[in-house]
């Protein structure tokens, strides 16, 4: 009888834990409400050569996921507008490569928004060891938010470095046999952009 009670008790607590709603994590930066927002991504020349779509794919992933979160009535994104398409910002970067030598606070006011999410991609790979037929995507970067005032002055108000993701999640360091470079690329960018968006919207704990 005691054993049965112990088992029943364990089952009860297990069920109770499953019934508990997930803990909510607050946004690290909660200043996008009722603002116009743009997303700019920078990657060094080597990454751009290997992955020409990296800047657009990353910026689009972040903006699309913010818009999805907005449709899900996430309070942090109430009234947020996205007037500039990521493709337009990438085109601006391509047409004016000299902006890479300018201060970010001088570039942000030119983009027609009052909040700029800026991502620097520090590292990207689809394989842990080049030339080996094992796959494990990794991507890391730094995220900054700039606030642009009505007088067109800008300042960095939020910064977080070393945001890092791997794909597939929890895969061994040596990589996995299944996959290909394209699938790993897509999954890694998706994982990274999801991680970035968590900084701007309240979300469930893992």
Q: Where are the domains of the chain?
A: 22-200
The string of pLDDT tens digits covering residues 133-177 is 899 999 999 999 999 999 999 999 999 999 999 999 999 999 999
Nearest Cα neighbor of 115 from 77, 141, 60 is 77
pLDDT confidence of residue 206: 67
pLDDT confidence of residue 180: 93
pLDDT confidence of residue 86: 98
The CB density around residue 165, as the number of other CB atoms within 10 Å, is: 20
pLDDT confidence of residue 10: 45
Nearest Cα neighbor of 27 from 205, 200, 145 is 200
pLDDT confidence of residue 4: 35
Please return the burial class of 40, using the count of CB atoms within 10 Å of its CB with bins 0-12, 13-18 and 19+.
buried
Q: Which fold has domain 22-200?
A: Rossmann fold (3.40.50)
- Collect the ranges in the chain with pLDDT lower than 50: 1-16
């Amino acid at each position: 009888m005691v054993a049965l009670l112990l088992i029943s008790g364990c089952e009860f607590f297990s069920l109770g834990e499953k019934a508990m709603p997930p803990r909510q994590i607050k946004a690290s930066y909660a200043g996008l409400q009722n603002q116009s927002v743009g997303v700019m991504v920078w990657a060094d020349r080597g990454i751009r050569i290997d992955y020409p779509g990296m800047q657009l794919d990353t910026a689009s992933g972040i903006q699309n996921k913010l818009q999805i979160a907005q449709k899900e009535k996430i309070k942090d994104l109430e009234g947020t507008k996205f007037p500039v398409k990521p493709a337009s910002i990438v085109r601006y970067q391509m047409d004016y490569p000299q902006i890479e030598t300018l201060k970010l606070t001088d570039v942000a006011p030119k983009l027609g928004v009052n909040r700029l999410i800026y991502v620097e991609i520090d590292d990207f790979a689809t394989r842990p060891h080049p030339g080996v037929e094992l796959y494990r995507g990794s991507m890391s970067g730094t995220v900054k938010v700039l606030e642009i005032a009505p007088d067109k002055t800008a300042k960095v108000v939020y910064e977080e470095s070393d945001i890092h993701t791997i794909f597939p999640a929890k895969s061994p360091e040596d990589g996995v046999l299944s996959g290909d470079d394209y699938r790993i690329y897509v999954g890694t960018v998706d994982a990274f952009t999801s991680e970035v968006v968590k900084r701007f919207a309240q979300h469930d704990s893992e």
